[in-house]
Amino acid sequence: MEHKAISLEDKFGKFSDQWSPKIIARMNDYEFKIARVEGEFIWHSHPETDETFLVIEGNLILEMRDGEVHLGPGELFVVPRGTEHKPRAVRECKLMLIEPVGTPNTGDAGGSRTAMQDVWV
């Protein structure tokens, strides 16, 4: 077995599509996903799980029905399960998502913006 650190810079260099999370690691039943985002996403929630957002580069706004959270590089926020939210970024933002295996990016909303599952980079 090869033991090697995961380079976020290297992984982000392998794709340019936005709002399409890519898995970079799995720990037990959780996946570490990275994504490039810009503009607005859709309102959605995850009824069965919390969702963690960690900003790597840029700025992210997490809108919720009762307020919003602004995140910069190195900042993290956990959206509680069942909380409707809509991420947005004025300029491209690189982020990491930490969530259970198989969690769709559009949660309970589904639709055309749902990314393919189990895509590794």
Domain boundaries, the chain: 8-100
Q: pLDDT by residue (tens digit) across 13-40? A: 999 999 999 999 999 999 999 999 999 9
* CATH 2.70.150.10 describes domain 8-100: no
Q: Which residues contact 69 (CB under 8 A, 6 or more apart)?
A: 61, 62, 77
User: Which tokens is 17 given?
Assistant: 């599509």
The DSSP line for 94-112 is EEEEEEETT--TTTTT-ST
Task: Record the pTM.
Answer: 0.95
Beta bridge partners, 34, equal 22, 96
Task: Give the Cα separation of 11 and 13 in Å (integer).
Answer: 5
Question: In the prediction, which pLDDT does 1 show?
Answer: 82
